[in-house]
Every structure is written in C-alpha cells, then in structure tokens.
C-alpha cells in the first residue's frame, strides 16, 4: 500500500526519496527532494492520506490559507500534499528554546493571524469560499457525546456545560482545530511577518475561533507538571483575550475571545473533548487533573 499510494506521487511529481517514511494512524510522511527546480526549496515533506483518513479536510484548509501563518502547500491532490521541510528546532515546547511568555506570544499571535486572514478571505471584496468538507464543531460535539466517557457520571457537569455552549458564535470561521506547541513549527524559508512560524496538521473544522486557542492550555502534553500550574493557565487566558480583542471596535470583534474567563470556557470545553477521545491514552489521568483544575479556575477557585 505504501508503494502504491506514495510511489505514485514520487513519480508523478518528479520527487526523490530523502529519508525513511514515517507511518501514522492516518497518513504517511515521506522526506523528499524536488527534482524539477520548480520551487524555492528542494527539501520537502510529502504527506499522503490513507484510505478512510480524516486528514483531507485539513489538507484543503492548508492550501486555502495560502502560506500565511500556515505551512505552504507546494503541490496537492485529493489525497496528498507536499510542503517545505520544517525545522525541528527551535521548538516551542522546549524550555531550552523558549520560556512560556515567548512561546505563548508566538502561539497566540499566529493563531489570531490565521483567523484574521480567514475573515479577510471571506469578505465580499475577496470572496474566497470556505473549502468544501470542513467539519462543523457541532458535529464534533455530537461525535464526542456518543463516546463512553462523555456519557459517564465523571463528566456529567462538563457535558451539561458543553451541551449549551455556542460553538459557532456570530461569525464562524475555518479552524485549525488542533493548535499546540508541536503543531507550530519554524520554516527558515518563510520571509514575512510570521517570523517563520507556521501551523501544520490542521483538523479542518469550522466554528467559533475561540476553540483554536483551547488546546494550548493542555500542552506540551509531555510536561504535565508544567501544564498544571494555575498561574501559567491564567497568564495564557489573559494573553488570548488581549490578542483576540486587539483588533478594535467593529465586526471583527464579534467572534473574539472577550475575556480571560471566556478563554477558560473554551479550554474546559476542549478538555472534555480531549479526555473523551483519549480515555485509553497514557496521558489520560494527567489531562483529567488538568481539566478539573481549569473547572476550578473558571469558578474562581485555585
């Protein structure tokens, strides 16, 4: 299957293997080099979605973002994309590279930049339609509510909250859906206002932009002690609200995250989704503890 799905793109797009492929549950990632000189980079990454994969909406969204705040798509077909190869370091989750304040600044401003670009693209003057196949957050919630943990007494309070939560807001936008420290990487070839920081691996959702900030509260996932610091959580909530409302008065603020408390609401919403998806993961109990901490902070505890 690897030879069939990946090999056809290697041949069709005139690529050369440049490392060992990596297989995930949903796709193959293949380091390649571009042989035809058509791009300003030779080192690239080919990503091919497996049959039945949920990667395709995100691939379409990456192309729609057109390289502003997101990794550039060099080539794309229905099941595959080719992107520039990105730096593994500096890494936003590595304390040797960034403290929380600097990492939060990059993460929050890049996320907000994606939302601003989406608003511009959807205005009548530009009129770019939303990519087909994006998944409404309401559908995501419906799926989660069918999972065993979300139906359990352990998440009863969260479920009552999530059931009434406005997932669209007044102006729904295309969303990444999974922004965290590991899904924002540095592109040394990016020469624009981004500073070279671009998102990868979007889920391809549509809904309230506040959702895109929520996973930041639970990452880096491999550093649970760092994540479960109440002061850190509150600093992040304040940073999100400050950036999201910095556009000034007018239509663009209609779907802003208006306060640190609202940022915490989105964090609690996302956290319940996450633990419901990951009930069998090694990080599950750590994330449940983080979810409880955020619930406490929302109510003024901690």
Give me the half-sphere count of Cα atoms (radius 13 Å) on the Cβ side of residue 223.
16
Q: At a CB cut-off of 8 Å and minimum separation 6, what does 3 contact? A: none
Q: Which of 201, 178, 267 is nearest to 49 (CA)?
A: 201
Q: What is the DSSP string of 126-195?
A: T-PPPPTTPEEHHHHHHHHHTSTGGGSGGGHHHHHHHHT--SS-SS-EEE-S---GGGEEE-TT--STTT
Catalytic residue among 79, 178, 201, 286: 178
In angstroms, the CA 282 to CA 70 distance is: 30
Is 178 an annotated catalytic residue?
yes
Q: At a CB cut-off of 8 Å and minimum separation 6, what does 41 contact? A: 34, 74, 84, 85, 189
* Residues annotated as part of the active site: 178
């Amino acid at each position: 299957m690897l030879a069939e799905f990946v090999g056809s793109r290697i041949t069709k797009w005139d690529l050369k293997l440049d490392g060992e492929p990596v297989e995930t549950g949903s796709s193959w990632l293949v380091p390649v080099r571009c042989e035809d000189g058509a791009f300003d980079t030779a080192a690239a990454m080919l990503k091919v979605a497996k049959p039945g994969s949920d990667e395709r909406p995100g691939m379409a969204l990456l192309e729609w973002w057109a390289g502003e705040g997101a990794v550039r798509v060099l080539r794309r077909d229905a099941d595959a994309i080719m992107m520039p190869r990105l730096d593994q370091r500096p890494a936003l989750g590595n304390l040797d590279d960034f403290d929380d304040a600097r990492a939060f600044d990059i993460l929050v401003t890049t996320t907000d930049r994606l939302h601003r670009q989406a608003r511009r693209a959807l205005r009548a003057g530009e009129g770019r339609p939303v990519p087909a196949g994006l998944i409404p957050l309401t559908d995501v919630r419906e799926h989660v509510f069918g999972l065993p943990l979300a139906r359990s007494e352990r998440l009863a309070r969260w479920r009552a909250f999530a059931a009434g939560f406005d997932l669209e807001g007044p102006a729904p936008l295309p969303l990444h859906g999974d922004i965290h420290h590991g899904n924002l990487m540095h592109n040394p070839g990016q020469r624009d206002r981004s500073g070279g920081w671009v998102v990868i691996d979007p889920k391809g959702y549509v809904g309230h932009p506040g959702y895109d900030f929520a996973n930041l509260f639970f990452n880096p996932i491999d550093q649970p002690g760092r994540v479960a610091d109440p002061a850190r959580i509150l600093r992040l909530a304040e940073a999100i609200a400050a950036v999201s409302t910095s556009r000034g008065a007018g239509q663009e603020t209609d779907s802003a995250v208006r306060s640190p408390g609202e940022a915490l609401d989105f964090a609690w919403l996302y956290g319940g989704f996450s633990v419901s998806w990951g009930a069998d993961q090694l990080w599950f109990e750590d994330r449940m503890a983080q979810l409880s901490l955020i619930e406490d902070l929302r109510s003024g505890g901690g």
